[in-house]
Each structure stands twice: as structure tokens, then as C-alpha cells.
Amino acid sequence: MKDNFLSQAEVNALLKKKEAAYETDIKEADEKTIAMMHGEETQPFQEEPVKTAESYREIPQQPAKDRVQVQKPVFASLEDSSEPTQKRNLDLILDVPLEFSVVLGKTKKTIKDVLALGAGSVVELNKLADEQLEVYVNGKLIAQGEVVIINENFGIRITQILSKEQRVKGLK
């Protein structure tokens, strides 16, 4: 059975031949381009037949010791090690400040009604006194809760964290 490997010398000789042919093609193309720019007619381009590896076998054979052997690369298998990376990545953002807000209720008013507001005015909201309040983080609804009073300050007790599906629906 005949070897289909080329030696390094054969590869170098082929490259030199191709480089010389390429330079000749470039010179001819430049000459044709210049002639066309000056309005001269040129002969139509004719393609050379494609050469196969066998047509280059006219180069003298080199001893087998100079031949280059090609092998497919072998890669190590990839393993999923996402858990430690996630923990480390989360540590990087733990100090990022977020806007946390609680909505007691909402209502719609006209400009006339808003301009008529003054000290002591009462605005009726769309929520009942015992309804859950909405908890937003950076403007996104994430939970519901109820009002509590802690040392004369208002607070909120989280009663329900919205599921991922509920949060996605809220984005629409």
C-alpha cells in the first residue's frame, strides 16, 4: 500500500510552486486591470484545471524519517464544577446596594386633585387595611408582607416570596 504522507521537503517545494504561481496570477490580474481602466480589451479569463495531490508527486521522494505524521488531538473531558464558582461569584456582589421599597397602596388622581392636596388631606388607596403589601427590589415585585411596628418605626414582615414564574409574569 502506498503512503499518502508528504515529507517536509515535499510540502516546502509545493508551497514554493504555489507562491510563484500566485505571484504570476497577481501580476497578470494587475496588468488586465490597468488595461481595462484604459479602455483596452483583454482576453476572457480562463481557469486552470484544479491540481490534485497526485499531480504533485513528481517531486523526488524523501526518506520516511523526514515525513511529518498528523494525529487527531486528544482533549481531557470537561467536568461541571459550577457550585464553587457560583459561591465565589456571589461573594463579589454581596455589598452592592439595592433599592428596597414597600407599596402601601395606589390610586389615580387628576392634576386638579393633586394641586388641591394640603396638610391634613386624606388620600384613599386601593388596598384594604388587612391586605398584603407589595415588596419591590430595584422596582421589581419580589414579595408580599404585612405592616409591623418595631420601637415606633414601621417595618414589614415578609409573608410570601414570589416564585420565579410569578416574578417573570410581573415583568410583562
Same domain? 33 vs 100: no
Same domain? 165 vs 101: yes
Domain assignment of residue 51, yes or no: yes
Domain assignment of residue 71, yes or no: no
Closest CA to 143 of 153, 123, 158, 130: 158
pLDDT tens, residue by residue, 26-71: 777 767 676 666 666 555 555 566 666 555 555 555 566 666 777 7
Same domain? 62 vs 96: no
Same domain? 112 vs 157: yes
pLDDT tens, residue by residue, 22-32: 777 777 776 76
Burial (CB < 10 A; 0-12, 13-18, 19+), residue 66, is exposed
Q: What is the CATH number of the domain that holds 118?
A: 2.30.330.10
Cell of 53: 495531490
Domain assignment of residue 79, yes or no: no
Domain assignment of residue 3, yes or no: no
Window from 23-32, 106-115, 138-147 with minimum mean pLDDT: 23-32
Which contiguous run of DSSP H or E holds residue 87?
helix 82-93
Domain of residue 144, residue span:
91-171
| Whole-model pTM over 0.85 | no
Same domain? 60 vs 128: no
Same domain? 19 vs 62: yes
Supply the pLDDT for residue 1.
44
Domain assignment of residue 1, yes or no: no
